[in-house]
Amino acid sequence: MKPFTDPHLILRQTKLVDHFLEIVQVNTQSDDTTGAWPSTPGQLDLLKRLQEKLAALGCQDIALDENGYLFATFAGNAPQAPVIGLLAHVDTAPDFSGQGVKPVVHRKYDGGPIKLADNVTITPEESPELRQCIGDEIITADGTTLLGADDKAGVAAVINNKEDKKNE
């Protein structure tokens, strides 16, 4: 696979956003009171879905352990290729609902405020990094739930990376 130097090209030529939008809609909100790992059924549900996706993509040695760790391997593209670990977690913060997540794709961000539900607005004044995203595609929750992007973007990248290798 040749490296991407243009982030817009990554979005046009891969299913990264599709994977991400699918994954964020699974409720994986943590529950610190269960004393179990994974701490909620939704986390286990997503891990099982990911296990199936990895198998469909040709991964081997797939194992989901009792603590919710999902392992899989796939062959490198050269003899004696080094083993590389890609890690991501599926749980989201217990402080905000993970139920009914509705991701919103803001295409070609224009630099203004991003208005969400319940009078929630994200502004460049409060989030100056938005100024660097003019013209980009931005994905948010609808304003009523937590998106879980930090966790699930990593999961989507792992799935996308393997899918790209399969299609080479």
Q: Which carries the bigger pLDDT value, residue 115 or residue 58?
A: 115
Checking phi first, is residue 80 left (phi over 0); if not, alpha (psi -120 to 50) or beta? left
Provide the β-strand partners of residue 29.
92
Residue 130 counted as domain residue: no
CB atoms near residue 31 (< 10 Å): 15
Structural domain that includes position 152: 14-99+147-166
Q: How many domains does the chain have?
A: 1
Lowest mean pLDDT among 45-54, 139-148, 157-166: 157-166
Rounded distance, CA 132 to CA 136, Å?
9
Q: Given CA atoms 137, 140, 142, 147 in this order, what sign does their dihedral have?
A: positive
Residue 49 counted as domain residue: yes
Residue 124 counted as domain residue: no
pLDDT in tens, 118-144: 899 999 999 999 999 999 999 999 999
Residue 47 counted as domain residue: yes
Residue 91 counted as domain residue: yes
pLDDT in tens, 75-86: 777 788 777 777
Residue 136 counted as domain residue: no
Closest by CA position to 142, among listed 109, 105, 93, 111: 105
Rounded distance, CA 110 to CA 123, Å?
12
Residue 81 counted as domain residue: yes
